[in-house]
Amino acid sequence: VVAADIRDTADTVETIRSDGGQAIGVHLDVTSMDSCQAMADAAVEAFGQITCLVNNAALYGDIEGGRFNQIPEAQWDRVMDVNIKGIWQCCKACIPAIQNAGGGAVINISSLAATYGMPYALDYTMSKAAVIGMTRSLARELGRNWIRVNAVAPSAVLTEGTTEYMGEKRDKALEVIAANQALQANLQTDDLVGTVVFLASDASRFITGQTIMVDGGTTLL
């Protein structure tokens, strides 16, 4: 595993290694193509190939919610730069290596916001809807190379980012979210692991272009 983030990845790397896996940490700024390419090069140098890319970087916890016409232009541009352009650039950097490996998987993390329609977060919602569109287009474009491209769209996950974004309204908001689900509990980070592992593995070898909702039964497709 190559753990790549703009923040320190030492804890993630240590967790993987302590479980018997191999991992390296790489500093990554997805808004910089040079940084994305350096990440891909480091992965190939360390492990010889890339077979799976998980695009999880996004601005969420550190943005301000508000009515659509009150979102600062600088914030809008930053959200699009990270949440959309960042995925595109990571794909540009890594997909040639995945193709050289004979195929593999790209997994893009979208959000329930994209299908449910999250109010007072138009920039975030728009960016996550674009992730679904990008997933579908790339799936059609890369299928001939046996590169599968799928998306995962979770509900609000219990992370530091969710706490930061919701602020003092967190507990009430999470209560309302859970009440509107068929499975009435809030999503833990571990609840996403099985879906991502499935999409990364040969168990999903004939699935591409799909968005899997991991939302406790909020959206039924």
By annotation, the residues acting in catalysis are 124
With CA atoms as reference, report the closest residue to 105 among 86, 91, 126, 88: 91
Which tokens is 63 given? 């943005």
Rg (the chain; Cα; Å):
17
Provide the H-helix boundaries in 21-121: 33-47, 73-80, 86-100, 112-116
Residue 145, exposed/middle/buried by CB under 10 A (0-12, 13-18, 19+)? Answer: middle
Pairwise CA distance, residues 220 & 54, whole Å: 24
